[in-house]
Amino acid sequence: MSVRLGLRRQSLFLPHLRAYSPLAQKELDPQLNGYPQLPGISRQSLPAKGWWDIQMRRNPGDTMHEREEMYSMWGPDIPHVAPATALRHFAIAVSGFVAFGLLCNYVLVPERPAIPRQFPYDGLVKELGGMEANKVSISSLIRSNTCNPIPSVSHAPLTGQCRELRRG
């Protein structure tokens, strides 16, 4: 009875991999053509001492990884902080800067010493001729600027219009 319980406990804790499972079969890369598939471990994570070439952390005769440029000492650095933790720290720093900016903008800015200027009749709209009269039309700009062109700016398409205005 105890033998059966022991076997059951082991079968519960050991993962069951079926023959067709992708984890059970490790496919060989056909492009390597018999070259050994080495684990993807960066040389930066290996101990610093105990190598013939201390800088590159290699011994003579070591098989180079197929992606040596990625896993060598000159490859990208291994992050010392997990990406999720780094993202959390970055979010905390950004929220701190935003909170400081909001504090400066809304709390530390004093009130105006005077009230803003107010005009009667909806801000002098009637006195200035209404909203349509205040809008600048393109034809008024062309008439005022084509006959007196600025010398530093090229007015090639407007020179013909200026001649027509002078004639007419």
Q: What is the 3-state secondary structure (H, E, C) of 30-54?
A: CCCCCCCCCCCCCHHHCCCCCCCEC
Burial of 71 (0-12, 13-18, 19+ CB in 10 A): buried
In a domain, 55, yes or no: yes
Share of the chain above pLDDT 70, in %: 61
In which domain, by residue range, is 53 found? 32-78
In a domain, 144, yes or no: no
In a domain, 60, yes or no: yes
Give Cβ neighbours of residue 32 (< 8 Å, ≥ 6 apart).
66
Give the model's pLDDT for residue 118. Answer: 82
Tokens of 143: 């008439």
In a domain, 67, yes or no: yes
Q: What are 10-47's pLDDT values in tens digits?
A: 444 445 545 554 555 566 778 878 888 888 888 888 89
Token match 């009230």: residue? 115
CA distances (Å), 98 to each of 93, 94, 104, 109, 111, in order?
Answer: 9, 6, 10, 16, 22
In a domain, 45, yes or no: yes
Q: Which of 81-85, 109-113, 149-153 has the highest mean pLDDT?
A: 81-85
In a domain, 39, yes or no: yes
pLDDT, greater one: 157 or 103:
103
pLDDT, greater one: 14 or 57:
57
The answer to whether residue 6 scores a pLDDT higher than 50 is no
pLDDT, greater one: 137 or 111:
111
